[in-house]
Copies of this chain bind each other. A is one copy, B any other.
Amino acid sequence: MTTGRLEAFSDGVLAIIITVMVLELKVPPEHHTHLHDLWHYAGVGLLTYVLSFVYIGIYWNNHHHMFQIVDYVDGSVLWANLHLLFWLSLYPFTTAWLDESNVARTPTVVYGVNLLGAAVAYYVLQLRMMRLPATGPRLRDVVGTDLKGKLSPVIYVAGILLAFVEPWLGLAPFVVVALIWLVPDRRVERYLAEHRDIAS
């Protein structure tokens, strides 16, 4: 099967997840019109919104890159993709609890588990796609040793463990993973530049 509709559906789901989180931000009520009211009602919410927005943005980016390389998929990839979307769809919920609790211990651990679940689901999706007969080897070339992909779950686990000690401390490793992925990753672009015939 071609990947067009899988990409369109994933785009739709990711677009909704990224936007829907803004609905969870609490608007200060009627007579609370000062800047400290904004901070009081929506401060933590805005910080975690930025973090979760960046995560979804990274996933969209990587997803987009990966499917530039692969054109045909089988049914198992459809489900591996839905599995990834499931974990990502929980972000608005776990982010909302994190805010609501002002970054308490358990909500931070649950948030970390959600991040970890998505990372593992992405890894599984990538594995499945690297085993596709036609375009699998091509993707394996591009992904290479995939240091980032293997390191991220480890850092997430570190964050989860740190959150048991002190929740705010646990957020630090989560931010680190986001920063690692924000650094431009040229693997796919380099590959596409070398193999212009695939890009079209």
B75 A184 Cβ-Cβ under 8 A: yes
A106 B15 Cβ-Cβ under 8 A: no
Q: Return the contact of A18 from the options B67, B76, B89 (Cβ within 8 A).
A: B89
Interface readout for A48-85 with B: 1 if CB under 8 Å, 0 if not? 00100100010011001101100010111011001001
Q: Return the contact of A17 from the options B19, B32, B189 (Cβ within 8 A).
A: B19
Q: Give chain B residues whose Cβ lies under 8 Å from the Cβ of A86.
A: 50, 53
Q: Give chain B residues whose Cβ lies under 8 Å from the Cβ of A105.
A: 33
Nearest chain B CB to A63 CB, angstrom units: 9
Complex A-B: 26 CB contacts under 8 Å: A1-B65, A5-B64, A6-B64, A8-B8, A8-B11, A12-B16, A13-B15, A16-B16, A16-B19, A17-B19, A22-B92, A23-B92, A27-B93, A27-B100, A30-B100, A30-B101, A30-B102, A31-B101, A35-B110, A38-B106, A38-B110, A57-B82, A60-B82, A61-B78, A75-B189, A79-B182
